[in-house]
């Protein structure tokens, strides 16, 4: 767990999933509902990528190619592929951290894995988050990202 502070806000970021579990000010007021890294979509601020929310039936078609995603117990893909992925610290000081991971997920119907380095950065001036996504795969594919709650 990484603790950041700007003298007014305190933020706790976990390397697993680049998950923000706690944001509170020095008076103790919580800015987000305190989260638990073992249940990242229930509270806190989860990083959802390369897709957010639910993909019905865990598959989609893009430019004539059908892609299959990992299914949950209800038969859908939900909240992306990064919730539990390990991120590593790329750069950090007491007010900010830049975390990085490389998503190496093999989508069915694709000859090569999807290589998508994800960089999630947090800088305290208020609270802001910046995400940079680089796709290294030779084929294009649809991707989106979202933090929850946004």
Q: How many CB atoms lie within 10 A of CB 77?
A: 21
Residue 115 pLDDT greater than 50, yes or no:
no
Q: pTM score, two decimals?
A: 0.73
Kindly list the structural domains of the chain, giving each domain's residue range(s) and its CATH number in brackets, ordered by start: 2-148 (2.70.98.10)
Residue 3's pLDDT band, with cuts at 50, 70 and 90, is very high
Instruction: Give the angle subtended at the CA of 43 by the CAs of 127 and 129, to the nearest 5°.
Output: 25
Distance from CA of residue 84 to its chain's centroid? 9
Range 128-132 contact pairs with CB under 8 angstroms and sequence separation of 24 or more: 129/20, 129/45, 131/47, 131/49
Q: What are the two backbone dihedrals, phi and then psi, of residue 56, each rounded to the nearest 5 degrees?
A: -60, 130
Q: What is the pLDDT of residue 150?
A: 45
Q: What is the residue-wise DSSP string for 100-133?
A: EEEEEE--BT-SS-EEEEEEEEEETTTTEEEEEE
């Amino acid at each position: 767990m990484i603790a950041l502070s700007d003298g007014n806000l305190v933020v706790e970021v976990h390397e697993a999933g680049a998950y923000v579990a706690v944001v509170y000010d020095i008076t103790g007021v919580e800015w987000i509902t305190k989260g638990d890294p073992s249940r990242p979509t229930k509270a806190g601020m989860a990083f959802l990528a390369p897709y957010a929310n639910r993909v019905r039936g865990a598959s989609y078609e893009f430019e004539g190619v059908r892609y299959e995603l990992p299914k949950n117990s209800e038969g859908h893909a939900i909240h992306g592929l990064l919730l539990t992925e390990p991120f590593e610290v790329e750069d950090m000081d007491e007010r900010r951290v830049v975390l990085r991971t490389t998503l190496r997920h093999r989508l069915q119907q694709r000859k090569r894995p999807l290589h998508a380095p994800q960089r999630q950065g947090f800088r305290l001036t208020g609270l802001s988050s910046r995400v940079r996504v680089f796709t290294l795969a030779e084929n294009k594919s649809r991707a989106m990202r979202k933090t929850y709650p946004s």
